[in-house]
A and B are shown apart, each in its own frame.
Chain A
Amino acid sequence: MAFNLPERVWWKPMHTEEKVWIVLCVIFGLTTFFFMPVWHMIGHQNPPSETYKLLPSQFADKVNTFVDQYAVKEASGEVKTDKGTPIVHPPGGSDIYLMGKQWIWYPILELEKGKTYRLHLSTIDVEHGLSIYPLNMNFMALPDYDYVLTITPGEAGEFPILCNEFCGIGHHKMVGKIIVKE
């Protein structure tokens, strides 16, 4: 039995059934493994790896400069906000910034459909998880690291963004949004 000592010579050749099964399993393993790099090449959506190291204070400076530069203004000249968070409308093709902090996503990005942007994602306190709805796309925001996601919005509308990495007691209230205009 399985818990008794095996026969003195247990390394006998396997039966045909087992050999066939191993061959099938290995073919399965090799096939799926082969497709890992192949999907990366022929697929259209891969997790990016472009990353830069910088201090949270440096990232916050970049975000503030970005908001000053592209903030949407009211007729009165005031910066347009939604529930206190400024709305920013950067031109297509530009570098845009999204900062996680306990417990908001800052700022609100207003993008144009079909334009491509380089989205810089990071956090100035603890780890946060960017989760874009209803698409359900998820990427990590880590302190000290600027993660660059190249994005092209494919449809217009408002896309809520949640935090899906536990970030403290207000975690479930951390909801921001991305607006995509036609």
Chain B
Amino acid sequence: MANQTSDFRTCPTTGLKVHLPAQTLIRINAVTAVVYILIGGILALLVALTRWPAVHLLPADLFYRALTAHGVTMLIFWVIFFEIAGLYFGSAVLLSTRLVGIVFGWVAYLMMLAGSLMTEYTILIGQADVMFSAYPPLKAHPLFYLGLILFAVGALIGCILFFATVIMAKAEGKYSGSLSLVSFGLAIAAIIAVVTIAGGAAILIPTFLWSVGLLSHIDAPTYRLVFWLFGHSSQQINVSAMVSIWYLLAALTVGAKPVSEVFSRTAFLFYAFFINVASAHHLMVDPALTTPWKIWNTGYVFHLAVVASMMHALAIPASIEVAQRKKGYVHGLFEWLKKCPWENPGFSAMVLSFCGFGLLGGITGVVFGTEQIAIVTHNTWRITGHFHTTVVLGTTTAFMGLTYYVIPLIFQREVMMPKLAMIQPWMFAIGVAIFSIAMIAAGGYGVPRRHWDITFAGAPYGFEFSPTVFLLMSVMGLGAIMAVLGGAIYCLVTVGSVFFGKKIS
């Protein structure tokens, strides 16, 4: 592998040495991620406008198709393309070293691209109206599963390159001692990713064989159990990556330094060991699982993953306060907070993601996953509201905030339309918060998720939801439009800056 100094440039802002072949890979993965959030965002608008009863845009078949595509695009393709870019950044760039196995990086990218296109195509031509979870015996075209498998293997290669780069950098003496906290958090995300992808392979490969007729039967509860090791844990990759990005953004925006490395690293370790248990929360009202199994998993192993999030919840604001006070903002209790760079979209996105994920997403997740409460929350809109506050308000907002730094640092372009960029995180996050809270409230009345028509026209018997439900569903529609506009501004600013932004030499 080439390792000449000519392969590197020095970043004028951070002083980091950037490996140029790695930079190209980061760029292409990040751009693909943004293309997928654009597609997913259009689908989101179609889905939301259909569930808004006053609009009821799409016919039933297109609604279920758009919903399947929206779930797969956002939960898998957008976040994982962005995370692979993040893993290359967190290893090669942050360690000022070369990315090991550039060729494999391209193989990984092409597999992920081919897999994602295969799955998207199968859904869009109507051969896979099975939702993200794709529970057998509901059967999709084999290419749907094959695409996901290809994508997952590509992502696995990306994770392996991350580990290889970190190990090689140490062997080559590029750094000594421990990884930085951000890289450590990303390493935890990569470890969770490996477990997740193993789970995906364990269930998607047999399901693919079943779809082509080589296996006669897939056991329904077994599929559900193993699928959620993939489907839910893939969102735990997000959690660890997102928290790492919070630390990174706190450092980039106000110069925050971790108040205690031991404290923050212990919290990350708790994620690695205990967060996967959350996958079980999909199964609390399933047959075939025993009560002790449900009790153990509903309690999250002494809630240690929750403890981990609560530790980060102390560490990050504390580090920001310490950094601000060092700058001289020491008057009163909250001058440091008032003098934070609120106009910086990187900072506001971090704070919005942090508050939204913790206060809305985390709490609803832990409560709804309780064994008894699952009876009233399972498959209602409460669940949909919960995971939009975690994955969208939390993860996506954090990724958006980081993008405003990736554009100058990796694409070497200035961010265009700074005024629009300034309001973007606020518009997006507040829109998501509005529609998620409306979903959770409507779900409290029992509104089912993944449902085309809650007026039940054409059904043999009906059920009349309270007028409050229809009000809440309209609020959901308005919040969704606001969020989609915020997302559109993100795509506009990002794509505009990457292609037409002023070059930074």
Contacts and interface: CB of A to CB of B under 8 A. Distances in A.
B257 A126 contact: no
B46 interface: no
A145 B287 contact: yes
Contacts of B456: 172-173, 175
A77 interface: no
Contacts of A37: 295
B342 interface: no
B453 A172 contact: yes
B288 to A, nearest CB: 5
B135 A165 contact: yes
Contacts, number: 248
Contacts of B221: 142, 145
Given A32-B299, A166-B131, A144 B220 contact: yes
Interface in A105-162: 121, 125-127, 129, 131, 133-134, 136-140, 142-147, 160, 162
Given A166-B64, A166-B131, A172-B453, A138 B380 contact: yes
B446 A134 contact: yes
Interface in B158-178: 175-178
Interface in B446-481: 446, 448-454, 456, 458-463
A176 interface: yes
A168 interface: yes
A5 B250 CA distance: 16
A152 to B, nearest CB: 15
B263 A18 contact: yes
Contact of A47 (B175, B284, B458): B284
A136 B376 contact: yes
B437 to A, nearest CB: 18
A12 B261 CA distance: 8
Interface stretch (B75-83, B300-308, B427-435): B300-308
B302 A1 contact: no
B448 to A, nearest CB: 4
Contacts of B257: 1-2
A167 to B, nearest CB: 7
B446 A33 contact: no
Contacts of A21: 310-311, 314
A5 B370 CA distance: 40
Nearest to B460: A83
Nearest to A12: B262
Contacts of B315: 18
Q: Which of B129, B287, B378 has the most CB of A within 10 A?
A: B287
B290 interface: yes
Q: Which of A1, A40, A138 has the most CB of B within 10 A?
A: A1
Q: Which of B177, B295, B461 has the most CB of A within 10 A?
A: B461
Interface in B169-191: 175-183
A133 B446 contact: yes
Contact of A3 (B248, B262, B289, B451): B248
A71 interface: no
Given A49-B289, A140-B378, 16 more contacts: A2-B182, A2-B258, A3-B94, A3-B180, A6-B180, A29-B302, A39-B370, A47-B285, A126-B138, A139-B285, A139-B375, A147-B286, A160-B463, A164-B450, A172-B452, A175-B461
Interface of A: 1-6, 8, 10-15, 17-18, 21-22, 25-26, 28-30, 32-33, 36-37, 39-40, 43, 45-47, 49, 51, 82-85, 104, 121, 125-127, 129, 131, 133-134, 136-140, 142-147, 160, 162-169, 171-177
18 contacts: A5-B177, A11-B261, A12-B260, A15-B260, A17-B314, A25-B310, A28-B310, A32-B306, A36-B299, A83-B461, A85-B460, A125-B137, A137-B376, A138-B380, A139-B375, A172-B60, A175-B461, A177-B461
